[in-house]
Amino acid sequence: MKIGVIGGGQLGRMLALAGTPLGMNFAFLDPAPDACAAPLGEHLRADYGDQEHLRQLADEVDLVTFEFESVPAETVAFLSQFVPVYPSAESLRIARDRWFEKSMFKDLGIPTPSFADIQSQADLDAAVASIGLPAVLKTRTLGYDGKGQKVLRTAEDVVGTFDELGSVPCLLEGFVPFTGEVSLIAVRARDGETRFYPLVHNTHENGILRLSVASEDHLLQNLAEDYAGRVLKQLDYVGVLAFEFFEVDGGLKANEIAPRVHNSGHWTIEGAECSQFENHLRAVAGLPLGSTAKVGESAMLNFIGEVPAVDKVVAIDECHLHHYGKAFKVGRKVGHATLRCDDMATLEQKIQQVEALIKG
Ligand code: AMP
Do 218 and 346 have their domain in common?
yes
The pLDDT tens digits of the residues spanning 260-319 come to 999 999 999 999 999 999 999 999 999 999 999 999 999 999 999 999 999 999 999 999
Same domain, 249 and 209: yes
Do 145 and 185 have their domain in common? no
Regarding whether 81 and 150 lie in a shared domain, the answer is: no
Q: Which of 218, 199, 226, 229 is nearest to 292 (CA)?
A: 199
Q: Is residue 96 part of a domain?
A: no
Measure 253 CA to ligand 1 centroid, in angstroms. 11
Are 300 and 338 contacting, i.e. CB atoms less than 8 angstroms apart?
Answer: yes
Answer yes or no: is 102 within a domain: no
pLDDT range class, residue 143, cuts 50, 70, 90: confident
Question: pTM here?
Answer: 0.96
DSSP-assigned letters across all residues of 209-275: EEEEEE-SS-TTHHHHHHHHHHHHHHTT--EEEEEEEEEETTEEEEEEEESS--GGGTTHHHHBSS-
209, 345: one domain: yes
The rounded Å distance from CA 60 to ligand 1 centre is 40
Q: Are residues 197 and 266 in the same domain?
A: yes
Query: Could you tell me the CATH number of the domain that includes residue 138?
Result: 3.30.1490.20
Q: Is residue 346 part of a domain?
A: yes
Taken in order 58, 59, 63, 66, is the CA torsion positive or negative?
Answer: negative
Report whether 268 contacts 320 (CB < 8 A): no
- Identify whether 104 is part of a domain: no
**Do 272 and 154 share a structural domain?**
no
> Quick one: which of 149, 141, 176 has its CA closest to 254?
176
Using a pLDDT cut of 70, give the percent of the chain over it: 100
Instruction: Kindly state if the Cβ of 97 falls inside 6 Å of ligand 1.
Output: no
Specify if 14 maps to a domain: yes
- 358 pLDDT higher than 90: yes
| Atom 2, ligand 1: residue with shortest CA distance | 146
What is the predicted pLDDT for the residue at 144?
Answer: 75
Question: Ligand 1: distance of its center to the CA of 186 in Å?
Answer: 21
Are 259 and 231 within 8 A, CB to CB?
no
146 band by pLDDT with thresholds 50, 70 and 90: confident
Identity at 316, one-letter amino acid code: I
Closest to 257 (Cα-Cα) out of 81, 14, 95 = 95
Looking from the CA of residue 244, the nearest atom of ligand 1 is 4
Residues 186 and 165 in one domain: no
Smallest CA-to-CA distance from 98 within 46, 139, 52, 126 is with 139
Tell me whether strands 194-196 and 180-188 are parallel, antiparallel or unpaired.
Answer: antiparallel
d(CA 276, CA 261): 6
Q: 146 in ligand 1 pocket by Cβ < 6 Å?
A: yes
**Mean pLDDT for the stretch of residues 221-229:** 98
Selection from 26, 20, 47 nearest residue 38 by Cα: 26
At residue 44 the predicted structure's pLDDT band, cuts being 50, 70 and 90, is very high
Pure H helices in 20-160: 51-60, 73-80, 89-95, 98-107, 121-131, 155-158
pLDDT confidence tier of residue 61, bands split at 50, 70 and 90: very high
Residues 158 and 296 in one domain: no
State if residue 175 touches ligand 1 by the CB under 6 angstroms criterion: yes
Asked if residue 47 is part of any domain, the answer here is yes
Structural domain count, the chain? 3
Ligand 1 contact, 204 CB (< 6 A): yes
Shared-domain flag, residues 196 and 343? yes
Assign residue 65 the CATH number of its domain. Answer: 3.40.50.20
Query: Is residue 273 one of the residues assigned to a domain?
Result: yes
Task: Tell me: do 324 and 245 sit in the same domain.
Answer: yes
Is residue 109 domain-resident? no
Domain, as residue range, for 143: 114-174
How do residues 88-115 score in pLDDT, each as one tens digit?
Answer: 999 999 999 999 999 999 999 999 999 9
Q: Are residues 204 and 344 in the same domain?
A: yes
pLDDT at 64: 98
